[in-house]
Amino acid sequence: MLVAAAIAGRADAFGTLVERYERAVYHLCLRTMRDPEEAKDCTQEAFFKAFRSLATFKIGARFSTWIFSIAYHACCDRLGSRKRYSDGEIPDAADPAPGPAQLAERNDEASALRTAIDGLPEKYRTVITLYHLQGRRYEEIAAVLDVPMGTVKTHLFRAKELLRKALTTP
């Protein structure tokens, strides 16, 4: 309904779509770009492109798949033009309930996991981000990345193996 309203010219409907998906799109861009400022730029670019292309959206399709695909391709375009990666820092969100020792251990584990994910090749990092961090289904990931579902499963398997090795090697 929101997409139909946005297509009909209701700016408030598109604003609601941005509010719903901005965080998830930003996190996909952050994992892909590895830089918070670059991720913000890609997120903004994705929503701008989506707004300009609303007329091409197929009613009945999932908006999330469409916007993630636009965001992912915006990241790929930016990465392709600069041919390098930068190391961005992702702030920790600490849970105040656990004690200091547990909190330190969790932060160490989370940091190790983030570092391991950041060290993955881009195709594996993107699949891990979409599947595990954003809870997307294989079909949706395949549509976003424009690859067969078998490729998504293979990339996910290989990414998990690489993460397992990176996290168990002292």
Q: pTM for the whole thing?
A: 0.58
Q: Is 141 exposed, middle or buried (0-12, 13-18, 19+ CB in 10 A)?
A: buried
| SS3 of the chain: helix, strand, coil, percent, to 5 | 75, 0, 25
The CATH architecture that domain 1-82 belongs to is: Orthogonal Bundle (1.10)
Residue 27's pLDDT is 93
Task: Give every CB contact of residue 81 below 8 A, 6+ residues apart in sequence.
Answer: none
CATH 1.10.10.10 occupies which residues in the chain? 100-170
Is it the case that residue 94 has pLDDT exceeding 50?
no
Rounded to the nearest 10°, the torsion over CA 23, 25, 28, 33 is -100
Closest to 45 in 3D by CA, of 65, 71, 24: 71
Tokens coding 58: 């197929």
Residue 170's pLDDT is 61
Q: Under a CB-based contact definition with an 8 Å cutoff, are residues 125 and 31 in contact?
A: yes
Tokens coding 1: 């309904």
pLDDT, mean of residues 73-85 = 72
Neighbours of 157 (CB within 10 A): 12
CATH 1.10.10.10 fits 100-170, yes or no: yes
Is it the case that residue 15 has pLDDT exceeding 70?
yes
CATH 1.10.1740.10 occupies which residues in the chain? 1-82
pLDDT tens digits, 52-76: 888 888 888 889 999 999 999 888 8
